[in-house]
Amino acid sequence: MIPQVQPQEVSARIASGEAWTLLDVREAWELAICALPDTLHIPMGEIPARWTELDAAAPTVVICRSGQRSQQVARFLQAQGFARVENLAGGILAWARELDPTLTAY
């Protein structure tokens, strides 16, 4: 089971300066539409070849557009031994809706 984290909680983590990874698994064209600052971008299709670039011991929140792709990636990372991986519930759409309406929904 992958824990779901709400946009407000991730925002609070950003504000606190807590050390963790925000992994955006959307495609580059999606990031060009809207993106959060200080994210690590690895498209979902590249995760199987690049997951070793991530720190399995660090808390990791995975984000996509709506939370579906990120859920799959979080499951994959958990299977690779990531014990502290979470999915951003609702993805960037929830972030835009709940925290930053200036982000372009697509």
Q: What is the pLDDT of residues 71-102, one digit of tens each?
A: 999 999 999 999 999 999 999 999 999 999 99
Contacts 24+ apart (CB under 8 A), 7-16: 7/88, 7/89, 7/90, 7/94, 7/95, 7/98, 7/99, 8/98, 8/99, 10/61, 10/88, 10/95, 11/99, 13/61, 14/38
Q: How confident is the model at residue 17 (pLDDT cuts 50, 70, 90)?
A: confident
85 against 105, higher pLDDT: 85
Active site residue 34: no
| Amino acid 98: pLDDT | 96
Q: How confident is the model at residue 18 (pLDDT cuts 50, 70, 90)?
A: confident
**CA-to-CA distance for 47 and 39, rounded, in angstroms?**
15
Domains of the chain (ranges; CATH) run 4-98 (3.40.250.10)
pTM: 0.95
Q: What is the sign, positive or negative, of the torsion defined by CA atoms of 2, 92, 62, 99?
A: negative
pLDDT in tens, 48-60: 999 999 999 999 9
Q: Which of 10, 23, 47, 64 is catalytic?
A: 64
Torsion from C-alpha of 74, 47, 42, 27, nearest 10 degrees: -90
The overall average pLDDT reported for the chain is 96
Q: How confident is the model at residue 14 (pLDDT cuts 50, 70, 90)?
A: confident
**CA-to-CA distance for 33 and 46, rounded, in angstroms?**
20
